[in-house]
A and B are shown apart, each in its own frame.
Chain A
Amino acid sequence: MEEKPNTTQNVNLTKGTLEMKFMKKSKDKVLKLLEDEESREIYSKEITEEMKRAGNIVFIETSIFNCKKMIEGRLSFGGMNPEIEKLMTKDSQRLDEIERSKEKDISDIEMAKGYSSVVETMQNKFLKKSKKKFKKPSADI
């Protein structure tokens, strides 16, 4: 609570006091405050005008290379250029990951299908049993 009145006091210090040798630091502070306020005032009008027109989304232009996540076009196969093939390992790792995720997707679906079929057969078993229980006496005899 004591800080606030202090700052206002600083602003209100007279020029003469601020010019004193030991007041150098507070003088700088006051000047900076004033400058900040001024610049804020100047730019606040312009920024709002510009923002009204441009909206709040920033659009960054990029190459199609980044959009499609392409690979580098320098490739070597069958040991033609070992140096290049060393650099290609990163891409092949990425490819493995993609393929693995694809495989996993399929197995997940298959898992679900398989599981649901198990549930169904179990269900059928119980259905049959319950039916049998009721029919048994009449059918057997």
Chain B
Amino acid sequence: MSGGIGELVYPGNILKNIRSNKFVCIIGPGLKRNDNLPNTLIVTRVGTLRFESPNTYWVDSLQKRYIPKRGELVVGIVAKKAGATKKQKVNINVGDAVYAKLLNTYKEMEPELVCVDSYFKAGSLGVLSSEGFVFSVSLNMAHRLLSIENPLLRTLGKKYKYEIAIGMNGKVWLNCAKTVDVLKIKEAIEIAEKKSDASILNTCKKVR
């Protein structure tokens, strides 16, 4: 029942000796404060326990269902149009793909999305061109693609001219200069899903 860092943990496991920075500890998915015992955490998901210095804990799991979390960036397709005011005209139509940030996510309410940052600037958010193509990958794959050290997208960028939007919800929007490339890149991502990070790195090193 020890459940050390880098080991497999199960729901119900209790983590003691939490490392904190000035009595603040940051917890990611798969962990909850244990109300029965002070200064301990309780695991809520099966997975590998991870720790990032100085005070961040989370559980890496292969979960399939997306649970929205505040601040995450997602790709989605507009289903309903509402809330356009005269002051802020919204140029979004039903059926458009958008890249948006989750503004607030409460258990009792529908999550809210925004396409501007706190300075009302769009930045990388907003409507995605209708020329693009939307497909799904597993949540785990989306997380792996978003890791800064993952070389796959960069390596593909050497060969193909494309733009991409990867949502934390496992939806991916892809737009290429050539239509054929869309299929090629999609296939590359699908193949990479079943490969380890090390073998992806090896394959990418061969591409020059």
Question: Nearest chain A CB to B19's CB is how many angstroms away?
Answer: 9
List the B side residues contacting A59 at CB < 8 Å.
25-27, 33, 41
Contact A67 B56 (CB under 8 A): yes
List the B side residues contacting A58 at CB < 8 Å.
20, 23-25
At the interface with chain B, which of A26-34, A75-83, A106-114? A75-83
List the A side residues contacting B177 at CB < 8 Å.
78, 80
Contact B145 A68 (CB under 8 A): no
Q: Pick the contact of A73 from B29, B38, B50, B168 — CB < 8 Å?
A: B168
- Consensus secondary structure, chain B interface: mixed
B143: interface (CB < 8 Å): yes
Contact B28 A57 (CB under 8 A): no
Q: Binary interface profile of A, 32-55, with partner B (CB < 8 Å = 1, else 0)?
A: 000000000000000000001111
B149: interface (CB < 8 Å): yes
Contact B24 A73 (CB under 8 A): no
Assign chain A's interface to a size class: 35 or more
Within 8 A of B (CB), among A81-102: 81, 84, 87, 91, 94-95, 98
Interface centre among B27, B52, B71, B124 (most CB of A within 10 A): B124
List the B side residues contacting A77 at CB < 8 Å.
153-154, 156-158, 160-163
- Cα-based distance from A79 to B158 in the complex (angstroms): 11
- Cα-based distance from A32 to B199 in the complex (angstroms): 69
Contact A68 B147 (CB under 8 A): yes
Contact B70 A63 (CB under 8 A): yes
List the A side residues contacting B124 at CB < 8 Å.
72, 74, 84, 87
List the A side residues contacting B164 at CB < 8 Å.
73-76
Contact A72 B162 (CB under 8 A): no
Contact A78 B26 (CB under 8 A): no
Identify the B interface with A (CB < 8 A). Answer: 18, 20, 23-29, 33, 35, 38-41, 50, 52, 56, 58, 69-73, 75, 99, 123-125, 142-143, 145-149, 153-154, 156-158, 160-168, 175-177
List 7 other contacts, CB 8 Å, given A63-B29, A71-B148.
A55-B40, A59-B26, A60-B27, A62-B56, A70-B146, A70-B148, A78-B157
